[in-house]
Amino acid sequence: MPTDRIELRGLRLLGTHGVLAEERSRPQPFEIDLDLSVDMAAAGRSDDLGDTVDYASVVGAVAGVVAGRRSFLLLEALADAIAGEVLTDPRVGSVTVVVRKLQPPLPADIGTVGVRLTRTRGPLDR
Listed in sequence order, the residues at least 6 apart from 55 whose beta carbon sits closer than 8 Å to its beta carbon are 6, 8
pLDDT confidence bin for 3, thresholds 50/70/90: confident
33-61: pLDDT as tens digits:
999 999 999 999 999 999 999 999 999 99
Pairing of strands 28-38, 92-101: antiparallel
Considering the candidates 17, 91, 100, 101, report the single residue annotated as catalytic.
101
Interval 10-31: pLDDT, tens: 999 999 999 999 889 999 999 9
DSSP state of 125: G
101 annotated active-site: yes
Answer yes or no: CATH 3.30.1130.10 is held by domain 5-125.
Answer: yes
Residue-range domain boundaries for the chain: 5-125
Query: What is the pTM assigned to this prediction?
Result: 0.92
The per-residue pLDDT of the chain, averaged, comes to: 93
